[in-house]
Structure 1
Amino acid sequence: MDWSATGSPTPLTFSEELKLAIKERNVLTTKSKMKVLSALNDLTKASVQEKQAEFRQKVINEIYSTEMTYLHQLEVIMKFFMEPLRTKSWLPHSTFNALFGNIEILYKVNGELLKELKEGEQHVASAFSKIAPYLKLYSVYAYDYKKALEILQTMVKTNKELNQFIIMQETRPEVSASIQSLLIVPIQRIPRYRLLLQELVNYTPKDDSNYSTIKDALAKVEQTAEHINGLVTEYENAEEMLMLARRVVHCPVDIIVPGRKIIKQGCLMKVTKNGRTSNQRYLVLFNDSLMYCKGKAEGILKFSCLLPLKHCQVEPVFGAGVFKITCQGEVILLYTGDSQLGQDWIETLQAATKEYQVCRWTLRKESSKRKPIRRKDRKHTEPRALPQSPDSKVSVSCFRMFKNIL
């Protein structure tokens, strides 16, 4: 008898009990036994197929029912929030468009999807394959959603009329939901399609005539999901880069350049030239360089140095989260009171440096098929020459300082 993870016996099916009894009791000839066991195997296989078909039908029903619910939620947004607010002057035009400008388009797209789904279960996969190119419209909504919602939440706190209107609409029996919970529904829809189609693939036999179509539909929805996630990530990085650029002063280089991303940032302690004292520095690790500034986590940052990752070497020293960065004659010794945080910085810096070097090698291999890139051409695509920091050279005497720290 099988046992479950909780220690209780798992009940056997009728077919399994029969098989066990036939094997244990020698009441049939070998030929008869083989016939009976073969028949029981066929019965078990048929039972598994029936269960798969049952689960498959449940998934199809869920796709259809959740699509109906989703369209109803879009109707609620349009009827009780979008249309009334269109006639008011409470929201700036840009905020209104960011929140509601794509709702009607999404409603039409998903209305077409629902029409296809109504054709029957054989049309589920083809319905998603047809509509998949239009699902990329969700990326526009996702792009605007977060920022617009933040503006709305701020305005609700300062605009009494707007606040009262939203509360009144949210408490209506036909709504019974917050505007935030309704507006996030389109963001959740594509991941939901992905999950449901994956389940449909799992419960569809590979020899089924629709199997390849379902797999194709899943692949297209996955591509759409990745496209949306990538766009949102780019948007968030652009916002983060812009905020950083506004904080940094006396910077002789361009912080915002195409393809640059922030990987990690925060405050660390930098050992001075004589090794007797240390000063707080704010480090920003990009995917192509490392910038360190004078300043704190909040407020203005005074630019000190920009180190290109292609020339950087990161080495832990002493242990306990202390590490050294060497780059084109620059030697920087850094540490933090939190050893785990220091170790995180070491690992992240090493990983970023390695990844950048691998990417450069790959690009150089690809570009070798075209015109070779000369040194004078590359200088415009790399971080500019490093300004020499007055405390850039770390002397051997710095080791004395860490005898007292560690």
Structure 2
Amino acid sequence: MSFAPEPPSLMGANSIQEQRERWDRKRSRTARELVQTEQHYCHQLELVSTFFVEILRAKGTLKQDIRDAIFSSIKDIQSVNQSLLVHLENGYLGQGLDKFCSHLDHYSKYVDNIYNAKKVLEIQLKKNKAFRRFKKLQEARPEFKDQKLEDLLQTPVQRILQYNHFLQDLTANTSPDDPEFEQLSKAVAAVSEVSQRIQNNT
């Protein structure tokens, strides 16, 4: 039995392999968490879109300009994120995030309007009895699980900040020679820009 040390080149190859395996494990864990939280987030967007935006438009309880002021681009955000979720669930992280980032203008619009949305919602709840009653009835639905409209309207802002964390983790645990590395790096820069807008608007 030989106890001779491994040649330096072999030791180096082993340590590189171990590093790649560590990256893969961490990346897989982050990717799983991203998919799970994205599923929950898309469900929250669907609640607002289905039980508020669409029904309010059909009933005419709020005028269009008021609806636009409160809900802004949330329908567009829902559509973009539904597409992202399909990519993530099928394992196409880089491709999905790359496509997602080309539609971040919907988030920028939403973030820039968030303060105004809050004020308009407060005013409507004070002066519009029909809307106040409608909101209460919708929030009492079992699908809402005690979530309030005010909290749900904040979720796109909170999600952008979460993307920042997820994308930095994914990039840090992706080998620079991986085809997805460049897509992830671009996504980090694009999401960071929207995160900065959030800080400027709060």
TM-score of the pair, normalised by structure 1? 0.44
Question: Which amino acid in 2 is paired with 1:60?
Answer: A
Which residue of structure 1 aligns with residue 65 of structure 2? Answer: 94
Pick from 145, 157, 173: which aligns with 1:187? 157
Corresponding letter in the other structure for 1:156? L
Distance 1:113 1:45 in 2: 32
The residue that corresponds to 1:213 in the other structure is 183
Partner of residue 73, structure 1: 44
Aligned to 2:139: 170
Q: Distance in 2 between matches of 1:103 and 1:223?
A: 19
Match in the other structure for 1:147 = 116
Q: Residues 106 and 137 of structure 1 are in contact (CA less than 8 Å); yes or no, is this contact kept in structure 2? A: yes
1:154 Cα deviation from its structure 2 partner: 2.9
Question: Is 1:56 paired with 2:27?
Answer: yes
Counterpart-to-counterpart distance in 2, 1:56 and 1:161: 49
CA 1:41–1:139: 2 relative to 1, 3 Å? closer
Q: Deviations over 1:77-112 (max 9, x none)?
A: 112122222244543432211223422211222222
* Contact persistence 1:129–1:217 (CA under 8 A): yes
Give the one of 155, 159, 172 matched to 2:128: 159
Q: Which has the higher helix share?
A: 2
- 2:98 is aligned to 129
Structure 2: distance between partners of 1:144 and 1:104: 14
Q: Find the aligned partners of 2:90 and 2:38 in 1 and give their Cα distance.
A: 14
Alpha carbons of structure 1 residues 84 and 58: separation in structure 2 relative to 1, 3 Å: same
Kindly state the Cα deviation for residue 190 of structure 1 after the two structures are TM-superposed.
2.0
Cα 1:87/1:217, change in 2 over 3 Å: closer
1:153 Cα offset (Å): 1.9
SS at match of 2:184: helix
- Give the secondary-structure state (helix, strand or coil) at the position aligned to 2:142: coil
The answer to which of 213-222 and 175-184 deviates more is 213-222
Q: Computing the radius of gyration over CA atoms, which structure comes out larger, 1 or 2?
A: 1
Q: Deviations over 1:253-304 (max 9, x none)?
A: xxxxxxxxxxxxxxxxxxxxxxxxxxxxxxxxxxxxxxxxxxxxxxxxxxxx
In structure 2, what is the Cα distance between the partners aligned to 1:90 and 1:33? Answer: 82
Contact 1:126 1:217 in 2 (8 A): no
Any stretches of 5+ residues in structure 2 without a counterpart? none
Q: 1:207 and 1:80, CA in 2 relative to 1: closer, same or farther beyond 3 A? A: same
SS in 1 for 2:100: helix
**8 Å CA contact retained: 1:71, 1:107:** yes
- Could you tell me how far apart the structure 2 residues matched to 1:190 and 1:37 are? 45
TM-score (norm 2): 0.81
Q: Distance in 2 between matches of 1:130 and 1:87?
A: 31
Find the aligned partners of 1:44 and 1:37 in 2 and give their Cα distance: 11
Contact 2:72–2:113 under 8 Å retained in 1? no
| Partner amino acid, structure 1, of 2:33 | E
Residues 132 and 224 in structure 1, CA contact (< 8 A), matched pair in contact too: no
Q: Is the 8 A contact 2:72 2:109 kept in 1?
A: no
More RCO (CA 8 Å, sep 6+): 2
Which structure: greater strand fraction?
1
Q: Which AA in structure 1 matches 2:182?
A: S
Q: How far apart in 1 are the matches of 2:74 and 2:180?
A: 32
Corresponding residue for residue 169 of structure 2 = 199
- In structure 1, the residue matched to 2:6 is 35
- Percent of pairs with identical residues: 29
CA contact (8 A) 2:42 2:82 kept: yes
Shift of 1:144: 2.2
- Root-mean-square deviation (CA, aligned residues, Å) is 3.0
1:98/1:141 contact within 8 Å kept = no
Please tell me whether the aligned partners of residues 191 and 225 of structure 1 are also in contact (alpha carbons under 8 angstroms): yes
